[in-house]
Amino acid sequence: MAKNIPVLLIFLALNAAAAPVSTAVPNVTRLELSTGTAANKEAFAYSKDRLIVKAGARVSLVFKNGASTPGSTYNFVLVKPGKAQSVIDASVSAGSEKGWVAETGEVLTASKPAGPGETLTIDFTAPGEPGEYPYVCTIPGHATMRGILKVLK
Ligand SMILES: [Cu+2]
């Protein structure tokens, strides 16, 4: 039995060397956005009218509906440059059964509707082409809710 001890020690040493070391920081850009203004949490507005990312970045957007009024539902829809109004119009026509988001190639990413106080995490890859990409809320009557995702080279 004693002659097996060195083998056991080697086995333990190899396992220790192979133990996972988790020091890597995930390469994800974390953004935060909520609804409403500092003065009025119920306002049909985003807390920020501009977000900035690098082209092609992996993005994790924490989106909080800051309202408390029942029925105050908001979403986040990122669209191609210049397509804010056409996506809003098509999405309102698409209706609630489509989550108020049109099925069109002009939509780059879209959240589900967030109810009052609800927080969603929206993971997406930033466009590879630098530019100004509008984000809009496509819930009917909310067309004033707009911002720009500025994508840098
Ligand atoms: Cu809205």
- In CATH, what number is assigned to the domain containing residue 123? 2.60.40.420
Inside any domain, residue 139: yes
- The number of C-alpha atoms within 13 Å of 30 and in the hemisphere containing its C-beta is 6
Which ranges of 75-126 does DSSP label H, i.e. alpha helix?
84-94
21 belongs to a structural domain: no
Identify the weakest region by mean pLDDT among 14-23, 97-106, 117-126, 137-146: 14-23
Quote the ligand 1 centre to 3 CA distance (angstroms).
Answer: 73
Is residue 101 pLDDT above 80, yes or no? yes
3-state class (DSSP) for residue 132: strand
Task: Please report how many Cα atoms fall inside a 13 Å half-sphere around the Cα of residue 10, on the Cβ side.
Answer: 5
SS3 assignment, position 41: coil
Inside any domain, residue 77: yes
18 within domain boundaries = no
How many whole angstroms from 34 Cα to the centroid of ligand 1? Answer: 11
Ligand 1 centre to CA of 48 (Å) is: 13
pLDDT digit string (tens) for 28-76?
999 999 999 999 999 999 999 999 999 999 999 999 999 999 999 999 9
Q: What is the structure's pLDDT at 6?
A: 57
Q: How far is the CA of 7 from the centre of ligand 1 (A)?
A: 66
15 in a structural domain:
no
Q: What distance in angstroms lies between residue 14's CA and the mean position of ligand 1's atoms? A: 56
The answer to whether residue 13 is domain-embedded is no
Residue 59 lies in a domain: yes
Residue 27: pLDDT band with limits 50, 70, 90: confident
In a domain, residue 49? The reply is yes
DSSP-derived secondary structure letter, 131 = E
Domain tally for the chain? 1
How far is it, in rounded angstroms, from Cα 48 to Cα 46? 5
Q: Which domain holds residue 146?
A: 27-152
Residue 149 Cα to ligand 1 middle (Å): 17
Q: What pLDDT, on a 0 to 100 scale, did the predictor assign at position 131?
A: 98
**Cα 54 to ligand 1 centroid, rounded to whole Å:** 26
Is residue 85 predicted with pLDDT exceeding 90? yes
